């Protein structure tokens, strides 16, 4: 087997990237939300020794890639990686590895289960062919540790608080606990300033009389972010109050991108060309 007989572009889409050294490849692994077991990690280590030079690289998208794999060993390492539960991933113009922060399974600030949501997004969208690469990020709260605004598509856990104003005594404890200073006392009652509130949910549970609860919990969706040579932050598209609603919106976005994004044009640049408000209107219309 030689490079002349291989479709290098197709290999790249499946996670095999040609190195500058002759007949050597980097094998990038599929690793949704950056999670794997200790057994899988050990397996990757052994395969890096067996087929490579014993080195691995942690990618910026919470993945692992194994460099210095000889062209003649690609089939063999692929089989063993699949048996290990860590198959080759995605590169090129496809939906890439989905990243996530720890979310509410580990973090005190997390509002949503990012691993569950990220895993579901991975099952639905990972590896889907696109006009250009698409990167997802899932973050558990407005602290935005997974940087949803820097990805083509971002999802952030949010929580809308609800104050029982009928029983509120206006003690003011909640005003000190809100990191955004979005709660004030007016007419001896706590009032939320919605233009300041970022739906972080930090106020829930801080009231001594337990009068601040949850009205709803959901997701804020961002679109059009990117880094690289010409970075830009994604814009807020909408809020979704259920996982089903969020998935429906993302499916619309993916399908819209396939129809409107030019080959090689980053999604955020496409939105600039078409117009974000036009895109938003088309995505959020019923049907």
pLDDT in tens, 198-241: 999 999 999 999 999 999 999 999 999 999 999 999 999 999 99
Cα–Cα distance for residue pair 21/70, rounded to 1 Å? 10
Question: What pLDDT is recorded for position 4?
Answer: 54
Q: Kindly tell me if the per-residue pLDDT of 28 is higher than 60.
A: yes
Question: What pLDDT is recorded for position 78?
Answer: 97
Among residues 20, 27, 13, which one has the least CA distance to residue 73? Answer: 27
Q: Which tokens is 167 given? A: 């029983």
Phi, psi at 29, each rounded to 5°: -100, 150
Domains and CATH numbers, the chain: 3-83 (3.30.70.3340), 99-159+214-284 (3.30.413.10)
Mean residue pLDDT of the chain comes to 96
The two most distant CA atoms of the chain are separated, in Å, by: 79
Q: Kindly tell me if the per-residue pLDDT of 3 is higher than 70.
A: no
DSSP state of 262: P
Question: What pLDDT is recorded for position 8?
Answer: 85
Q: Kindly tell me if the per-residue pLDDT of 2 is higher than 50.
A: no
User: Could you tell me what percent of the chain has a pLDDT over 90?
Assistant: 94
């Amino acid at each position: 087997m030689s490079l002349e007989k291989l479709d290098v572009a197709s290999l790249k889409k499946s996670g095999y990237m040609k190195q500058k050294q002759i007949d050597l490849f980097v094998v990038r692994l599929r690793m949704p939300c950056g999670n794997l077991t200790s057994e899988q990690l050990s397996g990757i280590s052994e395969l890096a020794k067996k087929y490579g030079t014993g080195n691995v690289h942690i990618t910026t998208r919470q993945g692992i890639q194994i460099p210095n794999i000889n062209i003649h060993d690609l089939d063999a390492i692929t089989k063993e990686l699949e048996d290990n539960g860590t198959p080759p991933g995605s590169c090129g113009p496809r939906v890439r590895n989905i990243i996530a922060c720890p979310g509410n399974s580990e973090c005190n600030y997390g509002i949503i289960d990012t691993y569950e949501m990220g895993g579901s997004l991975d099952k639905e969208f990972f590896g889907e062919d696109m006009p250009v690469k698409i990167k997802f990020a899932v973050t558990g709260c407005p602290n935005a540790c997974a940087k949803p605004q820097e990805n083509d598509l971002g999802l952030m856990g949010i929580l809308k608080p609800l104050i029982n104003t009928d029983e509120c005594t206006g003690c003011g404890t909640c005003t000190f606990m809100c990191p955004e200073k979005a709660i004030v006392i007016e007419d001896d009652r706590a009032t939320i300033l919605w233009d300041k509130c970022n739906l972080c949910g930090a106020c829930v549970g801080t009231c001594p009389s337990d009068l601040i609860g949850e009205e709803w919990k959901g997701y804020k969706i961002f679109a059009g972010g990117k880094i690289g040579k010409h970075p830009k932050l994604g814009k807020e598209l909408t809020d979704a109050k259920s996982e089903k609603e969020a998935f429906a919106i993302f499916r619309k976005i993916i399908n819209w991108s396939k129809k409107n994004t030019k080959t090689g044009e980053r999604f955020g640049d496409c939105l600039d060309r078409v117009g974000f408000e036009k895109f938003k209107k088309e995505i959020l219309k019923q049907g």
